[in-house]
A and B are shown apart, each in its own frame.
Chain A
Amino acid sequence: MAEHQGSYTPSSPLGKWVDERLPIIRFTKEQLWDYPTPKNLNYWWTFGAILTAMLAIQIVTGIVLAMHYVPEASMAFDSVELIRRDVAGGRMLQAIHATGASMFFVAIYIHLFRGLYYGSYKAPREILWMLGVLLLLLTMAAAFFGYVLPWGQMSYWAATVITNIFAAIPVVGDPLLQLLRGGFAVDNPTLNRFFSLHYLTPFIIAAVVVLHIWALHVPGNNNPVGVDVKSSRDTVSFHPYFTMKDLFATIVFFIPFAWLVFFAPDLLGHPDNYIPANPLVTPPEIVPEWYFLPFYAILRSIDFSILFINSKLLGVIFFGGSILILFFVPWLDRSKVRSGTFRPLFKPFFWLFVLNFIMLTYLGAQPAQGIYVVLSKVGVAYYFAYFLIILPLLSRFEVPRPLPASISESVLTPARS
């Protein structure tokens, strides 16, 4: 598309005939083979490929699991257990799918923070970034629907608590809650619709991934120094340079993944989810999966009202706002310099933001009492201050370090950061 001329010449009459009618081979050659990629991309840039691989794994294992799973409240729990016991390879499939969700989010968060550090959201990549935030939201929805399906105690009560969040929305809250649940309480209709939606969302995700990659291929990749590609000296073709680098990184990523699947499949789960769902017994503690904990901490930390907005609605506003605010990052950070490497003031604030995010993850798993409540509020304050105050002010007052003239120059004389 951009800048480079097509290099595909059909070698056979059939190839020419196809090319004139559906230039799919040309498209593949140009976009997945010759696509000029900055040669200085580091390993943080491999997580796009890793995420694509994870999505494929989740879809393939999920389709097979759906062949054996029974989305019915009295049979769902046992059907998952029977998959692990009696389906050929079922134990592995189930563990890959369940721990795969966790590894998916590991990759998502790294990919997201990479974008935040290197300013990958800045012009002309705003739409690329916003599609990424949309993918984050869709993946969260898919993971939530999926977590409900084994119909254990945590599944059931997570579904109850999370659907309840929507009840806080004024006017439409209650009808929306009943629509989500398919009734007044979480029950078989909830399980049925969540199963249906869990099967649907990954394909929506796949479609948005296509748009995400399209939006990437128009301006081309950002890169660690953040200066635009100036000449063909700055780039290499996607294949074989980045296909091999991405494949290598993906296989390395699979090693801790396989370790979880085969040696610690229950490490990230909650024991209560091995108790079949029981609407009459509330678990002593309801804890979401680890990848939702930072946002859960934000939801719980709002225990005060502002004016006419009660604490419940305010909590939901902060909870939703913590993700929706990401859509606006391209316009909150007005600094002309993309890469954090050349922004001396930005860097400490960014790393503090990462630590703050990890702290919120930790706090989300702690009881809402004592020092945890105070720390959560500090964490929430910094989370929003980073986007609403620090990024806008930095772009006005920060003096960035001089940028290299080109990618090639930065590669030959590495920038010291």
Chain B
Amino acid sequence: MIHHKNILAAILTSLMLASGALAQGTTPPAATQPSAPAASASSPSADNAKQAAAPAAQPAAMEVPEIQPQSWSFGGIFGRYDQNQLRRGFQVFKEVCSNCHAAHLLSFRNLSEPGGPEYSQAQVKALAATYTINDPDAPGGKRPGLPSDSFPSPFATDQDARDANGGLVPPDWSVLAKARSISRPFPWWILDFFTAYQEGGPDYLHALLTGYRDNPPAGFTLPDGKFYNDYFPSHAIGMPPPLSDGSVQYQKAADGSTVPLTVDQYSRDVSAFMMWLAEPKLDQRKETGFRVIAFLLLFAVILWLVKRRIWSNVAGH
């Protein structure tokens, strides 16, 4: 999270620390380029640990462009999930993404819980029943799904998933939105404390889903079976472009409003859904937060008055 490799910025920021002065935004941070995860069964030594933070060298032409934070309904301290958006995102997940990606921590019942897509319990029951669940205790080993069941995974085993996807398991979605982020170099993450910026995951996912290019730039050799993506760390991503304009048909919202059927819109919706999947209690936590902070502020003021009164008879105070 706290990483960038701009030397000038390092000197500037350490000077900043020394002087306590405000940053003059002169150093656009270079996006970091994590190397492709290296398969290694051996554990690194302490010497390796010293090297571990060094990103692998890559040609400058392949720099990952900086990802700009997007506007999200759930961003900032007042942000809440948009129920319609979560429903649209769930539709994209159900119709497109769940063909390859599992989300084993998602249960059907979660879809009717407060702060989520909030389908009715009857809708969730009906939806669950359309899935067949493998259950060794059921007659014949199979039964229709119940709201308490986990969302079924598309592949029976990890090996099946590998076989069907060019040797790699499509990552599970349960907390994926929090396992990805965008680079927030030094001065920013201090500001992030005050703005409560926690949307690096959806920002990255939206950029990734809209970052496919039909043809890689000149000089880039794309391995067989890979696709070129501007924002994927190595640019060569195994996932084919999953979305195209018009590929998912949304229903009108309850108030009759519609959204464009574009890749950009689908990406926003599904990224928002993934954020909910990773942080299903976001609305409640912010609500509680306001109450807790209001209480603490009030309590602090009262205690300060009490303390001042008590100390008023001490000489010199």
Q: Which residues of A are at the interface with B, using a C-beta cutoff of 8 A?
A: 39-40, 78, 81-82, 84-85, 91-92, 95, 157, 160-161, 164-165, 167-168, 185-186, 233, 236, 240-241, 244-245, 247-248, 251-252, 254-255, 258-267, 269-272, 274-275, 279-287, 290, 299-300, 303, 311-312, 315-316, 355, 358-359, 362, 365-372, 375, 408, 411-412
Q: Kindly list chain A residues whose C-beta atoms are within 8 Å of the C-beta of B18.
A: 355
The 8 Å CB contact of A85, one of B281, B286, B299, is B281
The minimal Cβ–Cβ distance linking B259 to chain A, given in whole angstroms, is 28
The answer to whether the Cβ of B250 comes within 8 Å of any Cβ in the partner chain is no
Q: Kindly list chain B residues whose C-beta atoms are within 8 Å of the C-beta of A81.
A: 105, 174-175
The minimal Cβ–Cβ distance linking B93 to chain A, given in whole angstroms, is 18
Given pairs A40-B316, A312-B47, A365-B53, 11 additional interface contacts (CB within 8 A):
A95-B285, A165-B46, A255-B297, A259-B193, A262-B288, A266-B178, A266-B198, A274-B175, A283-B52, A285-B54, A316-B46
- Interface flags for B1-27 (1: CB within 8 Å of A; 0: not) read 111010100110110011000000000
Tell me the bound Cα distance from A61 to B93 in angstroms. Answer: 36
Q: Kindly list chain B residues whose C-beta atoms are within 8 Å of the C-beta of A252.
A: 300
Tell me the bound Cα distance from A279 to B40 in angstroms. Answer: 8
Q: Does B1 lie within 8 Å of A315, measured CB to CB?
A: no
30 contacts between A and B (CB under 8 A): A39-B315, A81-B174, A84-B281, A91-B285, A240-B310, A244-B310, A248-B306, A258-B293, A258-B296, A262-B289, A263-B77, A264-B196, A272-B179, A274-B178, A274-B179, A281-B38, A282-B44, A285-B54, A286-B52, A303-B50, A312-B45, A362-B13, A365-B2, A365-B53, A366-B10, A367-B53, A369-B5, A370-B7, A371-B11, A375-B10
With A244-B310, A371-B7 as known contacts, state yes or no: A92 contacts B105, CB within 8 Å.
Answer: no
Q: Kindly list chain A residues whose C-beta atoms are within 8 Å of the C-beta of B152.
A: none
Q: Does A282 lie within 8 Å of B179, measured CB to CB?
A: no
Q: Which residues of B are at the interface with A, using a C-beta cutoff of 8 A?
A: 1-3, 5, 7, 10-11, 13-14, 17-18, 32, 34-35, 37-41, 43-47, 49-56, 77, 104-105, 110, 174-176, 178-181, 186, 189, 192-193, 196-198, 200-201, 233, 278, 280-281, 284-286, 288-290, 292-293, 296-297, 299-300, 303-304, 306-307, 310-311, 314-317
The 8 Å CB contact of A315, one of B41, B50, B53, B310, is B50
Tell me the bound Cα distance from A375 to B285 in angstroms. Answer: 41
Tell me the bound Cα distance from A280 to B10 in angstroms. Answer: 33
Tell me the bound Cα distance from A264 to B56 in angstroms. Answer: 30
Q: Kindly list chain A residues whose C-beta atoms are within 8 Å of the C-beta of B38.
A: 281-282
Q: Count chain B CB atoms within 10 A of each CB in A39, A247, A266, A375 and give the residue with the most.
A: A266
Tell me the bound Cα distance from A362 to B37 in angstroms. Answer: 25
Q: Kindly list chain B residues whose C-beta atoms are within 8 Å of the C-beta of A236.
A: 314
Q: Does B54 lie within 8 Å of A412, measured CB to CB?
A: no
With A85-B281, A284-B37, A411-B316 as known contacts, state yes or no: A267 contacts B3, CB within 8 Å.
Answer: no
Q: Does B193 lie within 8 Å of A267, measured CB to CB?
A: yes
Q: Does B198 lie within 8 Å of A358, measured CB to CB?
A: no
Name the residue on A nearest B287 (C-beta).
A262
Q: Kindly list chain B residues whose C-beta atoms are within 8 Å of the C-beta of A412.
A: 315-316
Q: Kindly list chain B residues whose C-beta atoms are within 8 Å of the C-beta of A161.
A: 44, 46, 49, 52
Q: Which 3 A-B pairs have the closest CB atoms?
A: A262-B289, A284-B34, A411-B316
Q: Does B55 lie within 8 Å of A255, measured CB to CB?
A: no
The minimal Cβ–Cβ distance linking A278 to chain B, given in whole angstroms, is 8
Q: Does A248 lie within 8 Å of B303, measured CB to CB?
A: yes
Q: Does B286 lie within 8 Å of A271, measured CB to CB?
A: no
Tell me the bound Cα distance from A87 to B1 in angstroms. Answer: 29
The minimal Cβ–Cβ distance linking A86 to chain B, given in whole angstroms, is 9
Q: Does A91 lie within 8 Å of B281, measured CB to CB?
A: yes
Q: Does B14 lie within 8 Å of A285, measured CB to CB?
A: no
Q: Kindly list chain A residues whose C-beta atoms are within 8 Å of the C-beta of B40.
A: 280, 282
Q: Kindly list chain A residues whose C-beta atoms are within 8 Å of the C-beta of B178.
A: 266, 271, 274
The minimal Cβ–Cβ distance linking A129 to chain B, given in whole angstroms, is 27
With A84-B281, A244-B303, A362-B186 as known contacts, state yes or no: A255 contacts B41, CB within 8 Å.
Answer: no
Tell me the bound Cα distance from A389 to B118 in angstroms. Answer: 66
With A262-B286, A285-B34 as known contacts, state yes or no: A312 contacts B17, CB within 8 Å.
Answer: no
The 8 Å CB contact of B293, one of A255, A286, A369, is A255
